[in-house]
């Protein structure tokens, strides 16, 4: 290689430019100038907006996982809070429903007690209030147990009624409780009077009539003047029930040509299934005035023999 063609300058590796300190000073001065110029004249505002507009899609895309995680956690938290509020609302509704039912039951009991008090004021027979404790366990009888017994002065045969009418009769008395046989029991009978016609009869219990039991007015002639919706009250001829107490209402009359008697079905006015507060009356025989003793005529004197 000819000598004239060789480079006489130093190789790039050995080239020496501005020193690092001088470049630091220049760049620092440039940065300070740009900061002051931007603060005073806002010369980098358009550039900053342009860079922000270019980088916004990238920034939005990078923030999506963070936003999804944040919204997901918020969704599950709100779902859990909504379930807790739903459970609380359901519990509150149950409590409010129970209170409303209790209020309705108390209002019904209050109304029945008021009617019983008014009934006691109207009755001339001594009476005492009582409460039905439970029904007897015998499925073939219709009896209830009340919370008054011998210590309260209850006697066997005492009539029992609620605010609507006669409920039954005390058939067994214990020291603290008594057993009442309802009118719908098959072994129970009560003498009644038809208010419309004044005809007397005897109503018997019919536990299979209807859903809760009924009564049947038996041994009435087929041509007897008995109609539906006739009101039957106690006649008072048995010396046990006071007269005029409501007993039942006629619901159906069947007249058959092959029978001399009519089938007369009645519905008791008392609540034989839902009675809770009742009134126990004293038997009518206990209130009746004592009968005067019969006066026997003096015996005729026998005449003696004449001598």
Contacts of 176 (CB under 8 A, 6+ apart): 147, 149, 151
Judge residue 180's burial from the number of C-beta atoms within 10 Å of its C-beta, 0-12 exposed, 13-18 middle, 19 or more buried: buried
The per-residue pLDDT for range 180-197, each reduced to its tens digit, is: 999 999 989 999 999 999
Give the whole-angstrom CA distance, residue 8 versus residue 29: 36
Strand bridging mode 277-281 / 159-161: antiparallel
What pLDDT, on the 0 to 100 scale, is given for residue 191?
94
Higher pLDDT, 269 or 257: 269
What pLDDT, on the 0 to 100 scale, is given for residue 306?
45
What pLDDT, on the 0 to 100 scale, is given for residue 307?
40
What pLDDT, on the 0 to 100 scale, is given for residue 229?
93
pTM to 2 decimals? Answer: 0.57
Average pLDDT over residues 204-210: 79
What pLDDT, on the 0 to 100 scale, is given for residue 35?
82
CB 276 within 8 A of CB 131: yes
The continuous run of DSSP H or E covering 85 comes out as helix 45-122
What pLDDT, on the 0 to 100 scale, is given for residue 288?
44
Average pLDDT over residues 1-14: 55
Torsion of CA 169, 171, 172, 178, to 10 degrees: -10
Which of the residue ranges 47-61, 103-117, 282-296 would you say has the lowest mean pLDDT?
A: 282-296
What pLDDT, on the 0 to 100 scale, is given for residue 192?
95
DSSP per-residue string spanning 239-282: SSSPTT-EEEEEEEEE--TT-SB-EEEEEESS-TTT--EEEEEP
In the chain, % of residues over pLDDT 70: 77
Q: How many CB atoms lie within 10 A of CB 9?
A: 7
pLDDT higher than 80, residue 83: yes
pLDDT higher than 60, residue 15: no
Average pLDDT over residues 6-15: 56
Tell the residue number behind the tokens 């409460």, with chain if given.
131
Give the whole-angstrom CA distance, residue 108 versus residue 82: 38
């Amino acid at each position: 290689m000819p000598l004239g063609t060789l480079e006489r300058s130093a190789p790039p590796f050995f080239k020496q430019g501005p020193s690092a300190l001088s470049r630091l000073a220049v760049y620092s001065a440039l940065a300070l100038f740009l900061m002051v110029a931007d603060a005073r004249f806002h010369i980098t505002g358009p550039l900053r907006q342009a860079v922000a507009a270019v980088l916004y899609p990238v920034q939005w895309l990078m923030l999506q996982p963070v936003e999804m995680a944040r919204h997901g956690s918020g969704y599950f938290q709100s779902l859990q809070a909504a379930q807790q509020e739903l459970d609380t609302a359901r519990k509150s509704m149950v409590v409010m429903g129970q209170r409303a039912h209790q209020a309705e039951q108390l209002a019904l009991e209050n109304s029945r007690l008021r009617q019983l008090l008014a009934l006691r004021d109207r009755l001339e027979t001594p009476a005492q209030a009582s409460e039905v404790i439970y029904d007897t366990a015998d499925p073939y009888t219709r009896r209830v147990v009340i919370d008054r017994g011998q210590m309260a002065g209850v006697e066997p045969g005492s009539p029992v009624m609620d605010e609507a009418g006669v409920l039954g009769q005390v058939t067994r008395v214990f020291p603290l409780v008594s057993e009442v046989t309802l009118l719908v029991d098959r072994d129970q009978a009560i003498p009644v009077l038809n208010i419309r016609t004044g005809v007397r009869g005897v109503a018997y219990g019919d536990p299979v009539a209807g859903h809760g039991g009924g009564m049947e007015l038996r041994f009435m002639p087929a041509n007897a003047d008995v109609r539906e919706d006739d009101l039957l009250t106690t006649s008072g001829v048995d010396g046990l029930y006071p007269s005029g107490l409501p007993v039942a209402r006629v619901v159906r009359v069947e007249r058959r040509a092959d029978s001399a008697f009519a089938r007369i079905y009645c519905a008791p006015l008392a609540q034989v299934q839902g009675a809770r507060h009742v009134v126990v009356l004293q038997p009518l025989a206990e209130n009746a005035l004592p009968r005067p003793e019969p006066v026997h005529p003096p015996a005729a004197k026998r005449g003696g023999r004449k001598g």
